[in-house]
Chains A and B, each alone.
Chain A
Amino acid sequence: MAREQPIELFMPPNMLKAKVGGGTFAGLDMSAIRRAEAAMEGIKSEFAAWAASDVEKLMAARARFAKTPDSASRDAMLRAAHDMKGQAATFNYPLVARVSGSLSKLIGELPPEKPLPMGLVDAHVNAIHVIYRDKVMDESNKLALALSVELEGQVAEALKR
């Protein structure tokens, strides 16, 4: 394959460095990192409410898809699952993140012309709801872990078909 020839390669002036300074190379500002970590601890009490609203959002997206199964409602369900995957680990729900990741993979990687296996979608949504409801924050919880592994296996099978 022919390599794309650059027409122009240039270094714009580093206005950002000029603006924020920081000496020759200030590196990571450890005091700022400590302040931010303390601030994160401070908002952790809000995480439970955030996670609850994300679970509701996912269930609402699922209900919307059941009523109107079009690409917009499918995308909304994917976004809800994807958001939850991204945030659940921060919220200390690693298995919710794992099951949401599995659901994202199913919706995101199944070709759009193929119908979603709704039984499998529902199994994911219900699993997320139950893991969150029972406050399973332990990644090694046997039941939730077995459920996650089973769902991931079924998604792999569904994507092969």
Chain B
Amino acid sequence: MSYQFERLKVLVVDDNAHMRKLVTTILQAFGVIQIYEAESAERAWVVLRESNPDVCVLDWMMEGMSGLELVEMIRTNPQAPNPFMPVIMLTGHTHIDRVRQARDAGVNEFIAKPVSVKTMMQRLVAVIESPRPYVRTEAYFGPCRRRRGAEEYRGPERREKKDAAAQAAE
């Protein structure tokens, strides 16, 4: 049975009108009907509270508030309608430091530009089928930043053996 994407509300945030058109064209072809657009993070914050979308597709680099700052607001601001809302970030930044920075802000999934249809579908399916657990620490609230399944590691405990060997040597 395929997904009923027509039930989904998606917010697309990008200050570039062409990129918004590209993303909304893809989402509409998937069957998404309820698409909200925002040309800035500030406008997106208003739309978020008015419409409470299910998923946000967000650009990183925008004039004024950045995409990352918006994600932090979604996760931690008491006025955010849904702090668990999946955020898929569109980015031209593929350097690992940038990916870490976005992950640390609470981004669920990434799409590296140029946007492809298949990648968009894969990321949507990922947030539907494989949601990450959420973590609340003193410094962070958002999706678990560990690789999926890392907590289910069933291999040998090499660290413990190393520690025991070090203790024996003392």
- What sequence of 0s and 1s flags, for each residue 20-53 of chain A, a beta carbon within 8 Å of any chain B beta carbon? 1111011111011101111110110010001001
Residues of A within 8 A of B62 (CB): 79
CB-based contact B29/A35 at 8 Å? yes
- What sequence of 0s and 1s flags, for each residue 1-23 of chain B, a beta carbon within 8 Å of any chain A beta carbon? 11111011000000110110110
24 contacts between A and B (CB under 8 A): A7-B136, A8-B136, A9-B136, A16-B8, A19-B4, A21-B3, A22-B128, A23-B1, A26-B125, A28-B125, A32-B5, A32-B29, A36-B25, A39-B25, A39-B26, A40-B22, A43-B22, A50-B18, A79-B61, A85-B92, A87-B19, A87-B22, A87-B113, A90-B114
- Closest B residue, CB atoms, query A16: B128
| Shortest beta-carbon distance from A43 to chain B in Å | 6
CB-based contact B129/A29 at 8 Å? no
Q: Which 10 A-B pairs have the closest CB atoms?
A: A86-B113, A36-B29, A89-B114, A39-B29, A90-B114, A23-B1, A8-B136, A22-B3, A86-B92, A36-B117
The distance in angstroms between the C-alpha atoms of A7 and B7, with both chains bound, is 34
Q: Contact partner of A20 among B5, B19, B134, CB < 8 A?
A: B5
Q: Which of B102-159 contact A (CB under 8 A)?
A: 113-115, 117-118, 120-122, 125, 127-129, 131, 133-140, 144
CB-based contact A35/B30 at 8 Å? yes
B residues touching A (Cβ–Cβ < 8 Å)?
Answer: 1-5, 7-8, 15-16, 18-19, 21-22, 25-26, 28-31, 54-55, 61-63, 84, 86, 90, 92, 113-115, 117-118, 120-122, 125, 127-129, 131, 133-140, 144
Residues of A within 8 A of B134 (CB): 9-12
| Shortest beta-carbon distance from A90 to chain B in Å | 4
CB-based contact B135/A19 at 8 Å? no
| Shortest beta-carbon distance from B95 to chain A in Å | 10
Please classify how large the interface on chain A is, using the bins under 10, 10 to 19, 20 to 34, 35 or more. 35 or more
Q: Contact partner of A16 among B30, B54, B92, B140, CB < 8 A?
A: B54
CB-based contact B118/A28 at 8 Å? yes
CB-based contact B129/A20 at 8 Å? no
Residues of A within 8 A of B121 (CB): 28-29, 32-33, 36
CB-based contact A16/B55 at 8 Å? yes
- Closest B residue, CB atoms, query A38: B29
CB-based contact B137/A7 at 8 Å? yes
